[in-house]
Amino acid sequence: TEFELLVTLASSPGRVFSRSALLRRVWGDEFRDERTVDVHIRHLREKIERDPRNPEFIHTARGVGYVFR
């Protein structure tokens, strides 16, 4: 699931994805809390970022969602 999330973000660099859009793309119609995305993003940052608190790749679009740069 983390991989699918990363592929979704990285396939469209610069595009802001809302949490709900990421939920639909990665989890489909299965109901998930939008915070599920936040947890998976945190785990991804811990794996791919040198400093997860200051990410280089996966950025938060405050109030909207996430963007890969």
Note the pLDDT tens digit of each residue in 6-56.
999 999 999 999 999 999 999 987 767 888 999 999 999 999 999 999 999
How many separate domains does the chain show? 1
Residue 17, domain CATH: 1.10.10.10
What pLDDT sits at residue 33? 82
Smallest CA-to-CA distance from 68 within 36, 33, 31, 49 is with 49
What pLDDT sits at residue 34? 80
Provide the domain limits for residue 51.
Answer: 2-68
How many alpha carbons fall within 13 Å on the CB side of residue 22? 31
Entry pTM = 0.89
